Chains A and B, each alone.
Chain A
Amino acid sequence: MGSTPSLPAWEIRNLANTTGFTSEQIEILHRRFLHLTDGKTTMSKDCFDNIPDLDCNPIKSRIVNAFFDGRNLGLQTSGTVDEITFENFLTTLSFFQHMDDNHTKEDLEYYKNEKLQFLFRMYDTNGDGKITLEELREIVDELLSKTSNAEKTSSSIADAAMLEAANICVGQMIAKNPAKEQAINFWKAKPLCPGTDSLAGGKYELAS
């Protein structure tokens, strides 16, 4: 390939329509994508190892997996894919967009739901649509992994969190079908989770 192959304009427009990024942002991201993949058109998991700062991140593997999760990419299967294209890359990143007030209320609600689903999938590693105590424990473990704590504390923390969840929506948490909605309702019902608001509101915004 050439030095920095750029996307043809029609493709940029296409992507802009589907993902909601502006063309500038798409170009920047494309450059970054090529930098990470060393010029190839598809990205695999080890491309993320090139980022030094990401290695210190305790939930690195989850983040990386989120890019390869089939559910995020809109595929029907719930496994992980091995290679993602630039479009998939953008799709995953689009979950972090800032939703301004230009959209209608239903749209905003829909986007918020989508974001929460994305988050849910990050927690739910085995893909069964439920967040179990074990999964929560793993999360807490990972979050605490950079500080030298014993596992006991983390598991008890996770349990306490689970119990809190039970308090807030007793009986709704995990039961049957539609478990995902229950969990999402739980998250919405949870008071003052500024992070959820910010993620749903899209605190992350690309700077060009």
Chain B
Amino acid sequence: MALAGGGSRDTRGLCRLSLPGYFILLVTLLNNAEATSRNESILHGQEVEGGNRHPDSSKIHLSRSLTNQEERLSVFSLDYYHVQIPFEITLWILLASLAKIGFHLYHKLATIVPESCLLIIIGLLLGGIIFGAKERSPPVMSTDVFFLYLLPPIVLDAGYFMPSRPFFDNIGTILWYAVVGTLWNIIGIAVSLYGICQVQAFNLSDITLFQTLLFGSLISAVDPVAVLAVFEEIHVNEQLHILVFGESLLNDAVTVALYHIFKSFCQMRDILTVDIFAGIAQFFVVGIGGIIVGIIYGFVAAFTTRFTQNVRIIEPLFVFLYSYLCYLTAEMFRLSGIMALIACSMSMKYYVEENISMKSSTTIKYFMKMWSSVSETLIFIFLGVSTITNTHEWNWAFVCFTLLFCLIWRALGVIVLTQIINRFRKLIITRKDQFIIAYGGLRGAICFSLVFLLPSHIFPRKHLFITSTIVVIFFTVFIQGMTIRPLVNFLDVKKTNKKQPTVSEEIHIRFFDHLLAGVEDICGQWSHYYWRDKAKKFNRNYLSKLLIRDKEPKSGIVALYKKLELKQAIELAESGQLSKVSSSASLLNKKPQKINNVSPDELKKIKDILAKNLYQIRQRTPSYNRHSLPRDTNENQVKEILIRRHGSLRESMRKTTRAKQSDAVKNSPFSQPQNARTTTRPRKKNVAFTVGEDSNLETDSLQLDNLSQSKLRPSPRHQEACGMEWKNEVHRENDRSQKPNSFGYDGGGVGSGNDSRRRPALKKPRTTSDNLEHHYNEHRRSRQGFVEFSPDNWRAESACEEDPEVNDPLIRKPK
């Protein structure tokens, strides 16, 4: 994303190059679209014309020869229809992805206009070209395609990565807005529209109340796709984000239920009270039923992953299969598929993440992000394409008033509801928040698809509805989407805090939870914390034992700690920039004062364990096996990079400390690892470390601890920070009768020049930390030796990235 200035010229050149590419693509699509229009394909919504195929194929300039009389053997032939459907699908997806590349090359544009708008514009252009060339409407996105193929990945992605703690903290408010707010909107819009329709001058009097109710129910729903697309780029504070986003997800239950209810009401002759009660009951069934279905599938998925340790390679598949089945099941029963999917992914996530390997977890994340990104892009492009049609019916009054009422009722609803809910909340929702919530109520593709589902025989004015839906969607996505960022800045809405979670925060949060739960118990009052405590206990005692393989429920603190360690290790391995070193150097300039509360052997233990948890080594002979992941040859290189980087870090640190210190640098080698260093065995090439590969890090660390403690005979002083990481490289090879410190301490040394190219790199660390230990107070020194890592990385992570999520390849939507 960050293209340097020098690169911009290249990129512009690239853009100019890619434009012809676009045109070629367009032309191909054109021809395909034309071919499509003659056939039935899934891209074809409403218009299916007669099947005269062959005469049109002559227009395609790559057509086969037209000699129908002779039956000569053709050397070269073309059979487009054979591959048509997959070919076109792939072309559409390719177009969407190329469009995405295109935007981010013009990154200035991407900051002003949200991506969703650009995609719609591209869709409009495409639709216009197709329309202009063919004098016909382009293929319209079919509702089935949308609901069955395009929407589930987005919702799954949203649910899987939903931060569960803020979500459940605010669940009351979210449900309040989603259910009551949507109902308010629906009734408000429907009734006021009906009032407008009664006015004779507007030529709308054939629209009944039920029709407006149905229309209201589909237009009021805030759309998760659009909200996600816009809010992800503006980075408001977490609470606000979760409120709007949670609302957009959970209002699906209301939407689905009411849509079906009103559609049935429209078709029924007379409405009995039984029907009304059935309607209300149906609403509850839809919502709660969806959630139950989701939870069931989630737990089944979690249970399945408990047994997948031998088939790691297909673990991600289970996650996706179960989620999709869950969605389809909910749709089958006419329940809320979105809520089912959210419930499924949220309930599944915790247990699945415990059971599957790191690689599977990464795979799942990447695939989810990829699919949801593609889906979203396709949705917006289709929105644009489908707009270009000659079947619009325009009625100024209806369209304008629809838009007006949508905005007014949303604003009113938010204000009134917030007044009420603020009485029950501790952290109240301020006016600015309210404004953003109201303003962020974007409509999107869900309404669009639902409006196409309206049965034409009851809705003679269907095209009017379609037109006004399109207008509302365009208005919200374009105008509101584009202006929300400047408004957020103008109103100075609290932005998200971009710091990394730290271990101490996690500790304190846990502490507060227990403290508040305890005080609640003392006072005999039940509240928030009580229920959360109960849920956690239930989880720990029953669910985790059932659904997690190793039956050891992990505390959140430990999980976070390990995650941070891993992240640090990965970050070290992937980076290599010395610029980060300078930040550590500046830290050292501050001369931290003496910290007198850490005893030396405790510090050693710290570093032991922390370092051990950083990496693990597996020794495997490489083999190709269809059912397991092949050994990464990169891992050796990664280790090299790591060592080099540490070496360079050490070096720079040593330079700065040297500059500060006036004492002579003593250079005594270590006595202890001498024996280890004298090994001359060549290192096995196939040893590599994997970071946290599929076993329980904790038990490994315990094993490591035992092994290293027994074999290394550590002396307190000499376990300096840098040498730390290599210690655990040791453990597994102990079994293989290598010298214990063959890896780590091999390089260190004073003059034992042997085969390893690591040797020089490690040499400096040895002496550097040695200097440190001699010249500072030992705590300070060791702390520095260690602090050099942590602020470096933790600070680097927060300073060198604008947004921790941007550089995280697992999160889509780079800015």
By the criterion CB–CB under 8 Å, are B555 and A170 in contact? Answer: no
Q: Does B518 contact A (CB under 8 A)?
A: yes
Q: Digit string of B416-427 for contact with A (CB within 8 Å is 1, else 0)?
A: 000000000011
By the criterion CB–CB under 8 Å, are A170 and B592 in contact? Answer: yes
Q: Does B711 contact A (CB under 8 A)?
A: no
Residues of chain A in range 96-139 having any CB-CB distance to chain B below 8 Å: 96, 98, 122, 130, 132-134, 136, 139
- Residues of A near B522 (CB, < 8 A) are 32, 36, 48, 51, 54, 63
Residues of chain B in range 501-529 having any CB-CB distance to chain A below 8 Å: 501-505, 507-525, 527-529
- Of chain A, the residue at the smallest CB distance from B791 is A167
By the criterion CB–CB under 8 Å, are A164 and B511 in contact? Answer: no
The CA-CA distance from A9 to B512 in the complex, in Å, is 34
Q: Digit string of B474-511 for contact with A (CB within 8 Å is 1, else 0)?
A: 00000000000000000000000101011111011111
Tell me the count of chain B residues lying within 8 A, CB to CB, of chain A: 71
By the criterion CB–CB under 8 Å, are A153 and B511 in contact? Answer: no
Q: Given the known A-B contacts A93-B523, A98-B426, A144-B558, are A56 and B508 also in contact in the complex, defined by CB atoms under 8 Å?
A: no
By the criterion CB–CB under 8 Å, are B505 and A139 in contact? Answer: no
Nearest CB on B from A123, distance (A): 8
Q: Given the known A-B contacts A32-B523, A63-B518, A166-B592, are A174 and B597 also in contact in the complex, defined by CB atoms under 8 Å?
A: yes
Residues of chain B in range 296-324 having any CB-CB distance to chain A below 8 Å: none
- Residues of A near B524 (CB, < 8 A) are 32, 35
Tell which of B10-18, B340-348, B605-613 binds the partner: B605-613
- Of chain B, the residue at the smallest CB distance from A98 is B426
The CA-CA distance from A170 to B786 in the complex, in Å, is 13
Nearest CB on A from B597, distance (A): 4
Tell which of A12-20, A78-86, A200-208 binds the partner: A200-208
By the criterion CB–CB under 8 Å, are A133 and B701 in contact? Answer: no
- Of chain A, the residue at the smallest CB distance from B560 is A157
Q: Does B594 contact A (CB under 8 A)?
A: yes
Q: Does A191 contact B (CB under 8 A)?
A: yes
Tell me the count of chain A residues lying within 8 A, CB to CB, of chain B: 69
Nearest CB on A from B536, distance (A): 9
By the criterion CB–CB under 8 Å, are B499 and A157 in contact? Answer: no
Q: Does B404 contact A (CB under 8 A)?
A: no
By the criterion CB–CB under 8 Å, are A134 and B597 in contact? Answer: yes
The CA-CA distance from A60 to B591 in the complex, in Å, is 39
Residues of chain B in range 554-577 having any CB-CB distance to chain A below 8 Å: 554-555, 557-558, 561, 564
The CA-CA distance from A206 to B522 in the complex, in Å, is 12
- Of chain A, the residue at the smallest CB distance from B561 is A157
Nearest CB on B from A1, distance (A): 20
By the criterion CB–CB under 8 Å, are B594 and A204 in contact? Answer: no
Nearest CB on B from A152, distance (A): 5
The CA-CA distance from A133 to B537 in the complex, in Å, is 29
Nearest CB on B from A85, distance (A): 16
By the criterion CB–CB under 8 Å, are A146 and B561 in contact? Answer: no
- Residues of A near B595 (CB, < 8 A) are 166, 173-175
Chain B interface SS verdict (over half) = helix
- Residues of A near B603 (CB, < 8 A) are 159
Partner of B558 from A153, A159, A161 at Cβ < 8 Å: A153
By the criterion CB–CB under 8 Å, are A143 and B497 in contact? Answer: no
Q: Does B702 contact A (CB under 8 A)?
A: yes
Q: Does B783 contact A (CB under 8 A)?
A: yes
- Residues of B near A48 (CB, < 8 A) are 522
Partner of B503 from A58, A149, A164 at Cβ < 8 Å: A164
Residues of chain A in range 161-208 having any CB-CB distance to chain B below 8 Å: 161-167, 170-171, 173-175, 190-196, 198-199, 201-207
Partner of B606 from A155, A173, A174 at Cβ < 8 Å: A155
Partner of A147 from B504, B511, B513, B552 at Cβ < 8 Å: B552
By the criterion CB–CB under 8 Å, are B591 and A171 in contact? Answer: yes
Nearest CB on B from A195, distance (A): 4
By the criterion CB–CB under 8 Å, are A171 and B520 in contact? Answer: no
By the criterion CB–CB under 8 Å, are A193 and B505 in contact? Answer: yes
By the criterion CB–CB under 8 Å, are A157 and B503 in contact? Answer: yes
- Residues of A near B553 (CB, < 8 A) are 147
Q: Given the known A-B contacts A152-B701, A196-B508, are A160 and B795 also in contact in the complex, defined by CB atoms under 8 Å?
A: no
The CA-CA distance from A204 to B518 in the complex, in Å, is 11
The CA-CA distance from A198 to B239 in the complex, in Å, is 13
Residues of chain B in range 574-612 having any CB-CB distance to chain A below 8 Å: 587, 590-598, 602-603, 605-606, 609-610
Partner of B521 from A54, A98, A146 at Cβ < 8 Å: A54
By the criterion CB–CB under 8 Å, are B702 and A133 in contact? Answer: no
- Residues of B near A93 (CB, < 8 A) are 519, 523
Q: Does B540 contact A (CB under 8 A)?
A: yes
By the criterion CB–CB under 8 Å, are B426 and A156 in contact? Answer: no
The CA-CA distance from A1 to B223 in the complex, in Å, is 63
By the criterion CB–CB under 8 Å, are A165 and B504 in contact? Answer: yes
By the criterion CB–CB under 8 Å, are B509 and A156 in contact? Answer: no
The CA-CA distance from A32 to B525 in the complex, in Å, is 10
- Residues of A near B594 (CB, < 8 A) are 175
- Residues of A near B366 (CB, < 8 A) are none
By the criterion CB–CB under 8 Å, are B605 and A152 in contact? Answer: yes
- Residues of A near B497 (CB, < 8 A) are 191-192
- Residues of B near A132 (CB, < 8 A) are 597
Q: Does B787 contact A (CB under 8 A)?
A: yes
By the criterion CB–CB under 8 Å, are B592 and A171 in contact? Answer: yes
- Residues of B near A170 (CB, < 8 A) are 587, 590, 592, 787, 791
Centre residue among A60, A175, A203 by max chain B CB count within 10 A: A203
By the criterion CB–CB under 8 Å, are A195 and B509 in contact? Answer: yes
The CA-CA distance from A144 to B443 in the complex, in Å, is 45
By the criterion CB–CB under 8 Å, are A171 and B558 in contact? Answer: no
By the criterion CB–CB under 8 Å, are A96 and B519 in contact? Answer: yes
By the criterion CB–CB under 8 Å, are A156 and B702 in contact? Answer: no
Q: Does B705 contact A (CB under 8 A)?
A: yes
The CA-CA distance from A140 to B509 in the complex, in Å, is 12
Centre residue among B512, B518, B533, B537 by max chain A CB count within 10 A: B518
Q: Digit string of B69-113 for contact with A (CB within 8 Å is 1, else 0)?
A: 000000000000000000000000000000000000000000000
Q: Does A4 contact B (CB under 8 A)?
A: no
By the criterion CB–CB under 8 Å, are B609 and A133 in contact? Answer: no
- Can you list 10 A-B contacts with CB-CB less than 8 angstroms, sorted by A residue number? A32-B522, A57-B521, A58-B514, A59-B514, A140-B507, A147-B555, A160-B503, A160-B606, A160-B610, A163-B783
Question: Which A residues fall within an 8 A CB radius of B?
Answer: 29, 32, 35-36, 48, 51, 53-54, 56-60, 62-63, 93, 96, 98, 122, 130, 132-134, 136, 139-140, 143-144, 146-150, 152-153, 155-167, 170-171, 173-175, 190-196, 198-199, 201-207
Apart from the given pairs A54-B518, A63-B518, A134-B597, 14 other A-B contacts in the complex at a CB distance below 8 Å: A51-B521, A51-B522, A56-B537, A132-B597, A147-B553, A153-B558, A156-B561, A159-B610, A164-B794, A165-B504, A174-B597, A190-B504, A201-B426, A206-B525
Q: Which 9 A-B pairs have the closest CB atoms?
A: A161-B504, A195-B512, A159-B606, A156-B609, A167-B791, A63-B518, A192-B497, A132-B597, A191-B499
